Chain A
Amino acid sequence: MFDWKFAVNILPKILASLKITIVATFAGFFLALVLGLVLSILSKSRIKPVSRLTNGVVLFIRNTPLLVQLYFIFYVFPEYGLTLEPLSAGILGLGIHYSTYLSEVYRSGIENVPHGQWEAAKALNFTRMETWTKIILPQAIPPILPVLGNYLITMFKETPLLSAITLVEILQTAKIIGAGSFKYLEGFTIVGIIFFILSYPSSRLIKSLDVRLNKKF
């Protein structure tokens, strides 16, 4: 049965490793934001081989499991001289995997900018770079903010996968405690509750943000 005293005892240990989970989430998300934007712009490139190649890479990454990609980064990269510690490998894996999802989100934002905006920029003699940074992106990003926020929460819930490449985040901490004491129930329950109390209110917040933004645009 659930041992409350034991649960209270191990809570500080699990909360201490929550820091790693949070760091991995935000660093991975930041990487995904940047890479995703790059991918979505490259896939709109006028040079055909570039856009084809980008779409192919996105398709491949989206259709293979994050867990296997993590193994690939963690075990295969060192064979070619790039040895990463678990945290950086995890951040890289999360970032790359979700950048392919975010690139689709950016794309939908960019496609929602009316075509006349491109023409107007051309008429005003803007360079392609200026058109992107001054005209298109400032209009494309705000409406997709809620979707980006939802992906942040999704990524947060994917961080337990990093335990597979020996990163000691909250789930791995609970597992180690369980293996040492044969008491798995308390640790895993606490981890589940932590995920819930962090992700549920955030998703609620994003929903209300979504409603407000949709009113504005």
Chain B
Amino acid sequence: MSTFELLISLLKGGLKVTIIVTLFSTILAFILGFTAGLARLSKYKILRIISGMYVEVFRGTSLLVQLFWLYFALPLLGIKFSAIFTAILAIGLNFGAYCSEIVRSAVNSIPQGQTEACIALNMTSFQSMRRVIIPQAFATMLPNLGNQLIELLKSTSLVSMITLADLTYHANILNSSTFETTKIYSLLLIIYFVISLPLTYGIKMLERRLSVWRV
């Protein structure tokens, strides 16, 4: 097979799954990150404990272990998901834990006076969060969340190990049928690079814009 044919065959086979898993687990991770991050700052102790446990458990164990646990071990407890759902769930839960720490520290970095001003203006705590605190904290957390997005994209390669047919999985299959090892894995590296490079530059641009606004 020529290099071009290999490239087409890789993209045709695996690009869709890689993008779907990246997209949906990003959405899940951001939702979980915001929920858990704000829950850790809640005035209710029970919410703080539950979200703290979630964050520490998923940060303290490895993503691949979580992926295997959900895919191989959970069905033995009677709960079985499809491979793609498991992949999105595991990556979303894992990165959600990391994102929640970003959200938490960004919200914590907003000066106390802002909250006090909201109280003085008779805002409810929900209003002050939504209208005053979060919009400011968002500028601080965006660059970090962007970095997490790139880490997440790279980690989607792990789903090939639970037999989900993403780019990496197709590279392994092609490798065992054509033995064009050098070409295939070089192409695979370049594909991931080409997907994540625009993200990296996008984040840098966003960072510059936001820091202009802040100064």
Contact = CB atoms under 8 A, between A and B. Distances in A.
Interface of A: 1, 59-60, 63-69, 71-72, 75-76, 79, 157-161, 163-164, 171, 174-175, 178, 183-185, 188-189, 191-192, 195-196, 199-200, 203
Contacts of A75: 175, 181, 185
A4 to B, nearest CB: 15
Given A63-B197, A71-B171, A196-B61, A164 B161 contact: yes
A23 B62 CA distance: 17
Contact of B168 (A65, A163, A191): A65
B185 A68 contact: yes
B192 A64 contact: yes
B61 A185 contact: no
A63 B152 CA distance: 11
A129 to B, nearest CB: 33
A200 B58 CA distance: 11
Contacts of B62: 157-160, 171, 195
Contacts of B200: 59, 63
Q: Which label, helix, strand, loop or mixed, suits the secondary structure of the B interface?
A: helix
B125 interface: no
Nearest to B167: A68
A59 B200 CA distance: 9
Contact of A195 (B65, B155, B172, B186): B65
Contact of A68 (B69, B73, B150, B157): B157
Given A76-B185, A183-B76, A66 B65 contact: no
Nearest to A80: B182
Given A71-B171, A171-B65, A188-B68, A196 B60 contact: yes
Q: Which of A71, A175, A199 has the most CB of B within 10 A?
A: A71
